[in-house]
Amino acid sequence: MMKFRRAGRSSAFTLIELLIVVAIIAILAAIAAPNFLEAQTRAKVSRSHADMRSLATAIESYHTDYNYYPLNGVLIGDGGIQNPQNNGSGAPIHKFLTEGVTTPVAYVTRNFSDPFIQVFAGMPETWTPYYPHYFYTNFDWFTKIMEPSPLPVIAVKKSIYGVWVLAGAGPDRDRLDLSKDLYYDPTNGTISDGDIIHSLKIITK
């Protein structure tokens, strides 16, 4: 009597099954990637706030010892540094806290760098130690060097922020928003316009 063997089911995946698995992985990756990038942005925002809180404490401690706030150094067009600013020799590129807050008295252990700013290609070497730092301005210093006729905008800015202001570029990665009094607010979107501000009168979220 002839017996027929019943074909056994193959244990290998079919092409359709493999395509379904690949599609599911792609969908999960598409969901996870934006969340991961947002988490990175939120972490950098939190770091900016923590850095500027430390710098604010250093600035106030400096004021306690010297009875005036730190001056801001200025990078000029040829990469040189002026402190105080001399408007006749070039437009300022970046205002920053000088080493006075770290030496000879360490009011803060280091002058923190803005996590949203990157050194751009072709930047002069003399800029790189300063450009990545948080923006800083002492409005009393501006008023003093512009006597007897300081610009009206200086008084306006001082009324908004107080004597000094620190600014981080924020997720839009530029420093153009402080001049427009545009502040970063995560409720407008994790990546949105606005600078992260810390001053005597304003601390952004």
Contacts with 39 (C-beta within 8 Å, 6 or more apart), sequence order: none
Collapsing DSSP states into helix, strand and coil, what is residue 199? strand
Give the Cβ contact number of residue 197 at 10 Å. 25
Full pLDDT tens readout for the chain, 205 residues: 555 555 555 567 788 888 888 888 888 877 777 777 788 899 999 999 999 999 999 999 999 999 989 888 776 665 565 655 444 444 455 688 888 899 889 999 988 999 998 777 777 777 777 788 999 988 887 777 666 666 788 888 889 999 999 999 999 888 778 888 889 998 888 888 899 999 989 988 7
**In whole angstroms, what is the distance from residue 45 CA to residue 173 CA?**
11
Strand partners, 72: 97
> 157 with 183: CB under 8 angstroms?
no
Its pTM surpasses 0.85:
no
Q: What is the DSSP string of 144-155?
A: HHTTTS--HHHH
What is the distance, to the nearest Å, from the Cα of residue 196 to the centroid of all Cα atoms in its chain?
7
